[in-house]
């Protein structure tokens, strides 16, 4: 950079005034590309070069020492100013990017983008979705008999794998509630065939659980068992809470029924239960068997449920 801006100087020794302006450009460019340090180094180099140049041409030049001093001060002030601005801007950009990424981890990238785009309202939006609940069996017992740090290790191994399965099928993890996962397919962004994606996610969660258990066995932990419940219907997706503390959440009967279906796994000794509404939306044939209708508190019609056969 310094070299480049010295080159033209030798060509027009006469037009001194013009060249003096050219000294500003490498300084500003160095600031823009490399930040404060580079701009200061360039400014000091330019100052030295400029002073030397002045010294050797003292006779032919009409400029006083005061002007040279001012010029040199100008170089360095400009370097300081632009360099400082560029550095501040870069730090703010880094902070913004870090915040953006961290926020995305805590509410999921999809929800973050909806929130920042102002598309999630306090009022809520009615959507047709498939809701997935999963829950670990005997987790309360595990918590009671295992040191809490190990519980965190076990649950994070499990949650990590399940989140990957859900994300891979365009699902969104809404919450971890103790050992429970609440996920949605079709919100915040509408999703075609959300029933199929949700069932495929549940099947992958089943496959992944055996891998998680192998991993846990290697670390000397007991294997885990879980139950998954799916239900399709209308929900309101909204910002729940207050302006001080918000949560992207789904509200509606569909959510409560999906949670209830998940619990029914215990009664039927199954691991994946889906409602008739989910089954109706499926695109592919999946082996399952119907269960006797289950009456659910607050709903007129009993629930028609299907248990998805093990893949063995």
What residues between 85 and 104 interact with a second copy by CB under 8 A? 85-86, 88-89, 92-93, 95-96, 98-100, 102-103
Give the one residue of 56, 65, 119, 175 binding a second copy; rule: CB under 8 A: 175
Q: What angle do CA 112, 177, 259 make, to 5 degrees?
A: 100
Instruction: Write each residue from 132 to 151 as x if it is in contact with a second copy (CB under 8 A), else as -, in one continuous string.
Output: --------xx-xx---xx-x
Give the one residue of 9, 51, 80, 173 binding a second copy; rule: CB under 8 A: 173
The reply to whether 116 sits near a second copy by the rule CB under 8 A is: yes
Contacting a second copy within 237-276 (CB under 8 A):
238, 240-249, 251-253, 255-256
User: Considering the complex, what minimum distance in angstroms separates the CB of residue 312 from a second copy?
Assistant: 28
Q: Round to whole Å and give the CA distance between 153 and 254.
A: 32
Cβ proximity to a second copy: between 181 and 288 the closer is: 181
Contacting a second copy within 40-79 (CB under 8 A):
63, 66-67, 70-71, 74, 78
Cβ proximity to a second copy: between 108 and 275 the closer is: 108
How many Cβ atoms from other residues are within 10 Å of residue 92's Cβ? 10
User: Considering the complex, what minimum distance in angstroms separates the CB of residue 287 from a second copy?
Assistant: 30
Cβ proximity to a second copy: between 154 and 286 the closer is: 154
* Binding piece for a second copy, criterion CB under 8 A, among 37-45, 80-88, 128-136, 208-216: 80-88
The reply to whether 234 sits near a second copy by the rule CB under 8 A is: yes
Give the one residue of 34, 49, 159, 268 binding a second copy; rule: CB under 8 A: 159
Both tokens assigned to 77:
């002030």
Cβ proximity to a second copy: between 19 and 308 the closer is: 19
Find the largest Cα–Cα distance for the chain.
Answer: 107
């Amino acid at each position: 950079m310094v070299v480049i801006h010295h080159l033209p100087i030798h060509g027009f020794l006469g037009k001194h005034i013009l060249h003096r302006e050219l000294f500003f450009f490498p300084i500003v460019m160095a600031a823009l590309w490399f930040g404060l340090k580079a701009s200061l180094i360039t400014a000091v180099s330019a100052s030295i070069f400029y002073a030397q140049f002045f010294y050797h041409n003292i006779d032919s030049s009409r400029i006083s020492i005061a002007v040279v001093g001012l010029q040199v001060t100008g170089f360095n002030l400009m370097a300081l100013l632009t360099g400082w601005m560029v550095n501040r801007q870069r730090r703010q950009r880094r902070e913004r990017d870090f915040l953006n990424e961290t926020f995305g981890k805590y509410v999921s990238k999809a929800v973050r983008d909806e929130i920042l785009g102002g598309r999630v309202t306090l009022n809520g939006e009615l959507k047709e979705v498939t809701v997935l609940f999963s829950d670990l069996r005997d987790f309360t017992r595990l918590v009671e008999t295992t040191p809490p740090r190990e519980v965190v290790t076990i649950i994070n191994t499990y949650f990590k794998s399940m989140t990957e399965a859900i994300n891979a099928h365009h699902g969104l993890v809404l919450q971890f509630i103790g050992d429970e996962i609440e996920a949605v397919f079709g919100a915040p962004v509408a999703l075609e065939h959300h029933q199929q994606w949700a069932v495929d996610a549940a099947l992958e969660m089943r496959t992944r659980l055996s891998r998680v258990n192998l991993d846990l066995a290697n670390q000397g932990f007991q294997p885990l068992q879980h139950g998954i419940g799916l239900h399709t219907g209308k929900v309101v997706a909204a910002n729940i809470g207050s302006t001080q503390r918000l949560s992207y959440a789904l509200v509606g009967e569909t959510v409560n029924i999906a949670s209830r279906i998940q619990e029914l796994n215990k009664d039927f000794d199954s691991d994946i239960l889906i409602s008739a509404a989910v089954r109706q939306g499926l695109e592919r044939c999946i082996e399952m068997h119907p269960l006797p209708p289950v009456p659910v508190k607050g709903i007129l019609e009993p629930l028609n449920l299907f248990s998805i056969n093990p893949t063995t």
